[in-house]
A and B are shown apart, each in its own frame.
Chain A
Amino acid sequence: MDFSILWSEFFGLTLDGIVVGAIYALVSLGYTLVYGVLRLINFAHSEIFMIGTFTSLGLSIVFGYTGLEEPLGIVLFFFVFLVMALASGIASGMSAVLLEFVAYRRLRRRGANRLSSLISAIGASFFLVELFRLTTESKDWDFPRMLSKDPVFSISTAYFTLDKIIILLGAFGLMFGLDRIINTTRLGRGIRAVSQDEKTAILMGVNVDRVISFTFLLGGVLAGFASTFYMLFYESTKFNVGFLLGISAFTAAVLGGIGNIRGALVGSFVLGLLQQYSSVVLGYNWRDVVTFVILVFVLLFKPTGLFGEAIQRARV
């Protein structure tokens, strides 16, 4: 256990932890929103994210940027990045809506028990992972360096490169936007209503089907944007990229209190930081164990998470 690196690199690790946490936050919102309205863990959400990464990758190939030698000019970069983010958002959003329709809607209508829905979710997740594994030949796919990664400024060991700044600003902007949507729009109110009490919401005239589709759409779009941020930061994707990222994002949601939006955000940043710190202290290979152990311990000792679940008791 080596704590000396932790101290000497503290600012750098913290910055990286926050950036990673921001990406987790966008994805964890998808889990938490769906759980809020459906009490269902959308196992396949990680694949919604993965679809977004490949959308961005595909666009980079279409634009001819594979094997790019020099970064693009700033203006061109912003334009391209925006297009990619929007495209990924749309692709992921629509995939999420389709997923709900195919895998969950019927079960919901029949009032099937949780086990059946969860298994359907797992099946959908497996299907998507395998589909992409076969079509992408199990390879790593690289994303071109479109933006220079020289630090713009730095605080101690924290190097603020342009991509990190973009991710932070973008993520916060999106979260703010989500907050507005949930609190002011009609569908947003519908989401809150269905989360609180579905039956009463129906009685009050809320179109539950539409609300649920919208919830999936929102989660998917956020995951789509997150996926483009991810590609910008990590510059590579693979068919199984969803698994670990999904587990981390889900752990973050649980840590904050599943169903609780603010909890998901806080949980994401906390988890991002913990992952960075623990990987220098314990060694990178133990990092995933840390994530799982956090997950297990939170569920065992405080299943309602840091901020408590929106509604509902967690224990039997």
Chain B
Amino acid sequence: MSLVKRSIGVAASVAVAFATFVAPAQAAPAGCNGNIKLVFQGGLTGGAAQTGIGEYNGFRLAILQYNEKKTASQPKVEVASIDTQASGSQSPALALKTVNDRCVVGVVGGMYSGETAAALPYYLKAGLPVISPSATNPTLPSVGGDVFHRVVANDLVQGPAMSKIAKREGKRIFVVDDQTTYGKGLADIIKKDVKATLVGKDSVTEGTTNFSSVVAKVKKAKADVVVYAGYYPEASKFIKQLRNNAATKNVKFVSGDGVLDEEYILLAGKYANNTYLTAPAYFLGAADKALTATYKKEYGVNPRIYTLEAYNATLFFLEAIKAGNTDKPSILKFINTKSVKGIGTTMKFDKAGEPSKKFINEFTVKNGKIAYVRNLINR
């Protein structure tokens, strides 16, 4: 075949290919083709899945109830989720996907600070409003700018609460962190706070199973209080090893919301008893019995920590939608300016996206169950 014919043939096939492939893509509508969506971001599989599923259930219960009770003129809201496995490494791709779905008008999440921080740049660029039910690191507003909000007090509030307990329970404080965004941030705050009584510090990594060298350090420092800033898989092993060492078996153990989960009790067994725990949260079970019953009926399990907060965060979005806002900018404006009544509290955000009402509660474990002790901070 002559060169001319050949090149025409090639050009023609490329053009045809373009037409068939590109044309359909162009013809797709610019807006959303279906119902508006709210996306839950968190760890639905993996080590922290229990907390994530608890939040996710709170999230979808709110939407379920809204869809049932809404009027005909109010839009239906679809439930969607992205599973980051509570780690930052998956967040960028998932966030990008979320942002490019034009039907998504809001994100409830992330669950942990690390995965939230990794996704925020995308949400910020896209102007997608975010309300996190449980990410507590203080730097998140600077990463997320105008779109980031949370319904829980951050670690600048939780840290001092933990220090308060530590100073109350002992005179020689040892602080351990797990080097995650959350853990390290929290530990830094606490270390500054207890400076005078700080007798030692150490760091471990996620996945640590052998704490014997940390225990040795605690023993050497003659600490009577150990504060652990991290999550429950490591905390449960740490407490066991502390209690099994004759020298450290009576040290008080203080930890934060990353540990406050039934999994902690499951993993640490009887050693979990008498742990001092804090969280910027309430338990749904105590706050609203009727809703808890509905939750149990729908999902077959008990609500966990942050289920309530996830429900409230979702409620905020739904109120915005009820008020007639169905696109991102107007929903964002609503969130930035209005206040909404949730379960057990009224929510409003300040300029940085932090909740205007900040509180920290103290919990403990009694006889294998999480028990509310008192409110530590309320402002």
Contacts and interface: CB of A to CB of B under 8 A. Distances in A.
Contact of B47 (A4, A5, A67, A139): A139
Interface in A25-76: 67, 69
A2 B220 CA distance: 11
Contacts of A183: none
Interface in B255-292: 266-267, 269-270
A284 B46 contact: no
B205 A285 contact: yes
B233 interface: yes
Interface residues of A, number: 33
A285 B179 contact: yes
B250 interface: no
Given A9-B216, A159-B246, A236 B203 contact: no
A137 B179 contact: no
B220 A149 contact: no
Contacts, number: 73
B216 A236 contact: no
Interface string B192-222: 0000000000111101111111101101100
Contacts of A271: none
Nearest to B201: A283
A140 B216 contact: no
A67 B269 contact: yes
A151 B246 contact: yes
Contact residue range for chain B? 20 to 34
Contacts of B207: 238, 240
Q: A159, A238, A285: which has the most chain B beta carbons within 10 Å?
A: A285
Contacts of B202: 283-284
A169 B216 CA distance: 25
Interface string A1-20: 01011001100110010001
B174 to A, nearest CB: 12
Given A284-B202, A284-B203, A284-B214, A69 B237 contact: no
A279 B246 contact: no
B294 interface: no
A132 B335 CA distance: 43
Given A69-B270, A151-B246, A235-B240, A284 B213 contact: yes
Interface in A118-172: 137-140, 142, 145, 149, 151, 159
Given A69-B270, A236-B209, A4 B220 contact: yes
Closest 9 CB pairs of A and B: A279-B213, A138-B46, A9-B216, A280-B213, A5-B220, A285-B203, A140-B233, A284-B204, A149-B244
21 contacts: A5-B216, A9-B219, A13-B213, A69-B269, A138-B47, A140-B236, A140-B267, A142-B267, A142-B269, A149-B244, A234-B209, A234-B210, A235-B237, A236-B209, A276-B212, A279-B213, A283-B203, A284-B205, A284-B208, A284-B211, A284-B213
Interface of A: 2, 4-5, 8-9, 12-13, 16, 20, 67, 69, 137-140, 142, 145, 149, 151, 159, 234-236, 238, 240-241, 276, 279-280, 283-285, 287
Given A9-B216, A140-B233, 11 more contacts: A2-B217, A5-B217, A12-B216, A13-B212, A13-B213, A16-B212, A20-B210, A67-B269, A138-B47, A235-B240, A285-B205
